[in-house]
Amino acid sequence: AQTVTQSQPEMSVQEAETVTLSCTYDTSESDYYLFWYKQPPSRQMILVIRQEAYKQQNATENRFSVNFQKAAKSFSLKISDSQLGDAAMYFCAYVETSGSRLTFGEGTQLTVNP
């Protein structure tokens, strides 16, 4: 069974600094998607960034980028120039390309200090 592990229950960063959130996963599949979702106190699940496993190039969305290491099954999220609005719970998630069910990690609570 696929598993997703986020080893950092909590992280903090100073405003305008850079922070990296870690995620590892376990799968025997070769074709899959990985995601980072943001969940602010409003509880809304907001897609931050998405990576297809067959793409070697790391995905980037403005201040958010990933370091995808397929052989190591690692998928970390880097947030540059952190803003107060980035404070939230961040979830890493996995899905097989042909599948329908996302597997989520336990989450990392990010605090941004002014």
Query: Closest separation between CB of residue 23 and another protein, Å?
Result: 11
Q: Which two tokens stand for residue 56?
A: 């070697």
> Binding residue for another protein (CB under 8 A) from 7, 12, 97, 113?
97
Q: Half-sphere exposure of residue 36, counting CA atoms within 13 Å on the CB side?
A: 29
Query: Rounded to an integer, what distance in angstroms lies between the CA atom of residue 36 and that of residue 30?
Result: 19
Q: End-to-end distance of the chain based on CA atoms, in angstroms? A: 41
| Piece of the chain touching another protein by CB under 8 A; list 12-20, 61-69, 78-86, 93-101 | 93-101
- The answer to whether residue 105 forms part of the interface with another protein (CB under 8 A) is yes
- The answer to whether residue 11 forms part of the interface with another protein (CB under 8 A) is no
